[in-house]
Amino acid sequence: MAQENGHLFSSGHTACAGCGQAIAARLVVDVTGKNTIIANNTGCLEVFSTKYPESAWGVPWIHSLFENAAAVASGIEAALKFLGQKEKTTVICQAGDGGTADIGLQALSGMWERGHDILSICYDNEAYMNTGVQRSGLTPFETSTSTTPVGKQSLGNPRPKKPMPEIAVAHGVAYVATASSGYPQDIQKKIKKAISIKGPKYIQIHVPCPLGWRHDSELTYDIAKLAVETGLYPLIEYENGKLTAVRKLSKIKPVEEYLKFQGRFKHIINSPEQIKQIQAIADYNIERYGLRPEPVNPSAPQPVNTQTKV
């Protein structure tokens, strides 16, 4: 199928203006190329790219259910092995943060543990955007969502993000990385690296959602960059269980720089106490992953509140 503008994920889909996920999805499949088969969990990406009778996909693509793309991808990979076609085909299983870290985690865990040669991508927009911005396991601390609303007794989501990259590492996933739609070349570099490695791979891409994060749609790229520059979304790589690379921050920005553009954090932006807690999460990441330009100090003090990591 000839695709518009030479992309395997073509324009004309129904994503919102400024959707970080649509940008990232195209970057991914542009690297993996035409010999790719994608299994996609239910979610925004599935809904906005495949509304029958149209499809944005120029590669074979399948959607079954919300939580089973990892198992469907396992079946595809097994079938390709049986047919002797695995070596020339990249199998991707992709989902949003809820489909990855919550409802899809069991199937994903099984797929990783079995060692299938599959690249899993999590498009992390930090809540269930497709169903109306409900909280997921990857929603950050004190985010206002439709199921963690701000009220007299609530400052939003009471829990930090589930540490999915480390969960992947604990499974023995050969290559684990975080990426951001604010750094397109970095996404493509990591996808390229991932598909050069045999076995399970996991890449979690931070993708701003103007609708759910309540920011102006032209700010997607800047907000994604700010998440990285403040230390709230560190760009890291694990190979065979070891942290092998991090994106160093030449100038670390205070977290307010990132929070102030987003309606989901409006309730805390004028509260120094709350800002301090979010800053502590960023500071923890900066120390833990050695995001400062200088060499990492192995004897750096551990943060007091170990719950507020990543």
Binding of other proteins at residue 300 (CB under 8 A)?
no
167 backbone dihedrals φ, ψ, rounded to 5°: -65, -40
Burial call 211-227: b when 16+ CB within 10 Å, e when fewer? bbbebeeebbbbbbbbb
CA distance 168 to 239: 11
Binding of other proteins at residue 146 (CB under 8 A)?
no
CA distance 179 to 185: 10
Binding of other proteins at residue 198 (CB under 8 A)?
no
Question: CB of 229 within 8 A of CB of 247?
Answer: no
Question: Does residue 238 sit in helix, strand or coil?
Answer: strand
Q: How far is the CB of 68 from other proteins (least distance, A)?
A: 4
Binding of other proteins at residue 58 (CB under 8 A)?
yes
Binding of other proteins at residue 83 (CB under 8 A)?
yes
**Binding test (CB under 8 A) with other proteins, winner from 7, 16, 30, 75:** 75
Query: How deeply is 7 buried, as exposed, middle or buried, from its count of CB atoms within 10 A (0-12, 13-18, 19+)?
Result: middle
- Count residues contacting other proteins (CB under 8 A)? 44
**What Rg value do the Cα atoms of the chain yield, rounded?**
19
**Binding test (CB under 8 A) with other proteins, winner from 63, 201, 225, 264:** 63
Options 28-36, 176-184, 193-201, 297-305: segment touching other proteins (CB under 8 A): 28-36
Binding of other proteins at residue 52 (CB under 8 A)?
yes
Binding of other proteins at residue 37 (CB under 8 A)?
yes
Binding of other proteins at residue 6 (CB under 8 A)?
no
Contact positions vs other proteins (CB under 8 A): 1, 34-37, 39, 46-47, 50-53, 55, 57-65, 67-68, 70-76, 78-83, 89, 106-107, 109-110, 113-114
